[in-house]
Structure 1
Amino acid sequence: MLDERSKMLLKALVERYIADGQPVGSRTLSKASGLELSPATIRNVMSDLEEMGLIVSPHTSAGRIPTARGYRLFVDTMLTVQPTQYSSHSLAPDQPQKVISNAANLLSSLSQFVGVVITPRRSSAFRHMEFLRLSEKRLLVIIVSPEGDVQNRVIYTEVDYTQAQLIEAANFLNSNYVGLDIDQVRGRLQGEVESLRSEIAALMQAAVNVSTEAIEDTEDEVVIAGERNLLSVSDFSSDMGHLRRAFDLFEQKAQLMRLLDIAGQAEGVRIYIGGESQVVPFEDLSIVSSPYEVDGKVVGTLGVIGPTRMPYDRMIQIVDITSKLMSNALSHHK
């Protein structure tokens, strides 16, 4: 347990290091903390904090920097978040994919770090389907998901369908199969092939096959914005190894999804500090994340990824407001 004086000095040290990026010495800490303490007293407290694993002395510097444990204690017990200053921003209701892309860009531009959004898990069903004749034996299938996403797929057919046949097939699908899982539709179609005219049945089966592809193409995506922002972060620009590890993480989207999936199981804004556990195995990166909802149901996760030395109070505000804006935009898009 830390006494009040040690807490104040640790808080001042973390805040100063986040602001400047330089190891904090006892003289700087004396000014930053506002405490009337002798340099010797401050050095003794810093020595105690170092023994507890909360701060560390890098290389031969006389100053100290926070460890993952130090950041964690700071975030959990000392961080004060002011009322949000980002409430003037907005995300307009639109196609879900566009809302998600806009949210990732908003996270990135406000934080100046990397914005990440895991797309909602989609139901493998459709809300509406249409056929458009492009040329002889070449059709455009327009598939609208229950979430409002629109997917277009071109199919080539053995028969040259008339516009009347295309309307008939679309009407049959929209009247009988809306809301059903695509696999259920496929099974039902095979059973009803006898009662449908063969050329219409073939068209519907082709449409169902292409719908499966469209749904699989958009499943479990990670949308990332602002990776280049890390190039201007001194913690990374001075160490190409750190930067390479960060970019490797963005390329390994499966790993990124696992990180954010863990975050999505928690309520509200959560902070994962690099190096403190296997959740974020990179010592130089931290994640501030929050789940987002559609109509009151959690469907995905978004967050900011940046250096461990990030202004956590601002990141919490940015992630929190973006989560609310995104939930609102997706819930009002019908």
Structure 2
Amino acid sequence: MLLDDRAHTLLNTLITQYIAQGQPIGSSTLAQQAGLKLSSATVRNVLVDLEHLGLVSSPHTSAGRIPTPQGYRFFVDAMMTASTFETVENESWSSQFQPDSAHRMASSAAQLLSQISQFAGIISTPKRSHMFRHIEFLLLAPQRVLVILITPEGDVQNRLLEVDRPYQTHELIEAANYLNAHCAGLDFTQIKQQLSQELSQLQQHVTLLMQRAVLHSHDNHTPQDDTLIVKGERHLLDVTEFANNMDRLRHTFDLFDEKTRLLQLLERTNQAGGVQVFIGGESDMLPYDGVSLITAPYTANNVVIGTLGVIGPSRMAYERVIPLVDVTAKLLSRAMGQGLLPSL
């Protein structure tokens, strides 16, 4: 949508003032705040045009205007194109993301987003990989073996096996060498099929050990591995737009409970890459008017493993929250990539 410079300036000013004040903006106030030498009548005419375009609306006949979801979208897209964001101080945040378990670091990121934005911080935790990059077997006792799986994302997952017969160290090395040479990067289901086909080519006790390890790892992958962490939902109770609109507040908390829908929404960020802004009411992805979600993917070793973000009112300071989400995703990605992470 193309607007002339005058209309663009008035729309940006209106949205900026509405975000700051939370009240409909009248034409006289807008004329003064925009810094344009325009009469109130001229400003009113421009506002009528913006209303016809669906960018602003008037809650009451005699009231000023407020932005619509389409107006917020125009405002945010223009901001992101121009990259006009506030400087985000992040030096003190780095200590929040010392290499730790992926789950604890994800929880810290959601908490940080909530504390700084004063809205709700959300994050999808890394999915457990259904394949491995490297495997090792460690003999703990004659019939107890520790399986160490390193995923393509660099996550280290440990599995304890109770085996039916005692194993020698050289047998465990033989099994690990075979799996690393022939099965690294394959899905666990493919590995199981391959081992069944090659049973006659290997020593039976080695094959049984490998099948047991793979089966145990595969069975540990459940739908609960793909979880969503939400921090600071109570902050929304203090937001005027939610406190004065119980339907909006209820819909937002319903969204937290409907994890599948929210996880699907976060998944779209993984596919698109970079910071994404979802504004409520503009599409069926986030159908609740007055709610916005800002997200960004985070990585480990340049592989996207999850998404984090902030949920708050559409009347939020986007110039502050967008870089907050972006920087947090980058700091978390850096921490996730530092060394091999312990098991979730």
TM-score, scaled relative to structure 1: 0.82
Tell me, which stretches of 5 or more residues in structure 2 are unaligned?
none
**How many Å separate the matches in 1 of 2:224 and 2:147?**
16
The alpha-carbon deviation at position 273 of structure 1 amounts to: 1.6
* Aligned twin of 1:32: 33
Which one of the candidate residues 107, 115, 119 is aligned to 2:121?
A: 115
* Aligned twin of 2:189: 183
Is residue 330 of structure 2 the alignment partner of residue 324 of structure 1?
yes
Is residue 284 of structure 2 the alignment partner of residue 278 of structure 1?
yes
Bigger CA drift: 184-193 or 105-114?
A: 184-193
| Secondary structure of 1:304 counterpart | strand
* Aligned twin of 2:297: 291
**How many Å separate the matches in 2 of 1:235 and 1:46?**
23
Is residue 320 of structure 2 the alignment partner of residue 314 of structure 1?
yes
Which AA in structure 2 matches 1:226?
Answer: G
Tell me, which stretches of 5 or more residues in structure 1 are unaligned?
none
**How many Å separate the matches in 2 of 1:125 and 1:73?**
43
The alpha-carbon deviation at position 225 of structure 1 amounts to: 2.6
| Secondary structure of 1:265 counterpart | helix
Note the alpha carbon deviations across 1:269-308, whole angstroms, 9 max, x for none: 2222211223322222222222333333444433222211
Which one of the candidate residues 200, 203, 213 is aligned to 1:207?
A: 213
* Aligned twin of 2:63: 62
1:14-163 mapped onto 2 (5 Å cutoff): 14-59=15-60, 62-77=63-78, 81-82=84-85, 84-88=87-91, 89-90=93-94, 91-126=97-132, 127-128=134-135, 130=137, 143-151=149-157, 159=164
| Identity value in percent | 43
| Secondary structure of 1:215 counterpart | coil
**How many Å separate the matches in 2 of 1:317 and 1:177?**
44
**How many Å separate the matches in 2 of 1:316 and 1:37?**
32
Note the alpha carbon deviations across 1:182-238, whole angstroms, 9 max, x for none: 22442344456565465x765654433221122335654333333222222211122
How big is the alpha-carbon RMSD for the aligned residues of Structure 1 and Structure 2?
3.3
**How many Å separate the matches in 2 of 1:325 and 1:266?**
20
**How many Å separate the matches in 2 of 1:271 and 1:237?**
23
Q: Do the aligned partners of 1:95 and 1:148 also contact (CA within 8 Å) in 2?
A: no
Which AA in structure 2 matches 1:47?
Answer: V
The alpha-carbon deviation at position 6 of structure 1 amounts to: 2.3
Note the alpha carbon deviations across 1:129-176, whole angstroms, 9 max, x for none: 557879x9998766553434344566677x5x65xx386675454332
Q: Do the aligned partners of 1:169 and 1:203 also contact (CA within 8 Å) in 2?
A: no
Which one of the candidate residues 238, 241, 248 is aligned to 1:232?
A: 238
